[in-house]
Structure 1
């Protein structure tokens, strides 16, 4: 007979839990245990790590009271334990080690942006061998910096049909236009949210904030 226990409700993270929940190297494990309570053996197979490594990672989460035993399945000797992680956590900025709110945001955003830049560079190198920045006069008082290859701005890649974009732009908008743009972007994301059979993963990042960063 399999003995099961329910996962706890929404959890508020402590400082020790926050450090693990925000660890980007544990994201795959957390995602797995949130959706599919698993044994250590199943964790090892799914994440393609050694059984010892899987045991270490699961034990780390269990000791912090993040992963809990959700079922004990009978087998010869010791029962086989399934571990799960409650699917909803609130991680307050105040319990983390971040000194400021922007540092708190950057700790999660920068690793993803860095990974996106790595993927972007890989696709750029497939397009041309030589890359750099073109610094050109923009108007009477200023200049702009645009990524390009040796032949000029990279309009044929980023503005062409290839599914690759890496643009940072400053727009002058009214409050109404900014709200409309946000609504259109949200709707566009929703339109493409459902997985497409035979499709592949694409990473998309959009930030809309008041201020000039260009």
Structure 2
């Protein structure tokens, strides 16, 4: 584990490095492993107490304290201040850097794909659990809860897991107008704010780059908002070239 990226000028106050490099495999594992990282992320550049983080994560104080002691030993966490009180004093902790860089060589991953899988596994599982709960709450009639696949003369249009029957079933499309968009009912005012859809777009390089930047701007637009009565939402945006099966690898 290394310190600042470059030394400070003589006499200048020491500033924490923006990117702390983690070459120690044990320290690198904290950031590379999705499960362990969830205990560390609440402390990144924020002063936190063990009890507050335990409530945020929905785990016991003992579980968080175990991880805090581990992060202290690895030099990833520091005590910022101690608040005296009757009995045991309350300690506040904060990560030792605003940002961390884990080189691939410091991880135990056998490939880039394996590192990507391990790093995102916990986030993906959280999204899946949240979606499953939300979908289950919306399924008023379980008989219509299932997979709906629809296409037209141009090819596949949508394949989605839905908790309701679309307004017009694809099997009946030849009897009248084209079926309504599968996810339209979710956009109704009384429906909860849920969106989960995967589709293939045919774009030029310029159009794909524009969409990439729009997605980034959209996420930034809603990030960091603070207002009474807010509910936490998980947002995952993905855009990638859709490789043919023979090029995608195992």
With normalisation by structure 1, the TM-score equals 0.75
Partner of 2:162: 148
Q: Deviations over 1:103-140 (max 9, x none)?
A: 21122223222221221222222222421113456548
Change (3 A) 1:74 1:205: closer
Note if 1:92 corresponds to 2:103: yes
Change (3 A) 1:82 1:7: farther
CA–CA separation in structure 2 for the residues paired with 1:107 and 1:196: 31
Higher relative contact order (CA 8 A, sep 6+): 1
* Equivalent residues, number: 206
Partner of 1:3: none
Change (3 A) 1:179 1:51: closer
Change (3 A) 1:50 1:148: closer
Change (3 A) 1:116 1:141: closer
Partner of 1:23: 33
Paired residues of 1:7 and 1:84 also in contact (CA < 8 A): no
Partner of 2:7: none
With normalisation by structure 2, the TM-score equals 0.66
Q: Please give the residue correspondences for 1:95-114 in structure 2 after superposition, counting only pairs within 5 Å.
A: 95-114=106-125
Paired residues of 1:170 and 1:212 also in contact (CA < 8 A): no
Paired residues of 2:136 and 2:163 also in contact (CA < 8 A): no
Q: CA deviation at 1:186?
A: 1.8
CA–CA separation in structure 1 for the residues paired with 2:232 and 2:61: 28
Q: 1:197 aligns with which of 208, 215, 227?
A: 227
Partner of 1:207: 238
RMSD of equivalent CA atoms: 3.6
Paired residues of 1:157 and 1:164 also in contact (CA < 8 A): no
Partner of 1:47: 54
Change (3 A) 1:125 1:90: same
Change (3 A) 1:20 1:187: closer
Q: CA deviation at 1:35?
A: 3.0
Q: CA deviation at 1:22?
A: 3.1
Paired residue secondary structure (1:167): coil
Change (3 A) 1:190 1:50: closer
Paired residue secondary structure (1:35): coil
Query: Which region of structure 1 is more displaced relative to structure 2, 181-190 or 164-173?
Result: 181-190
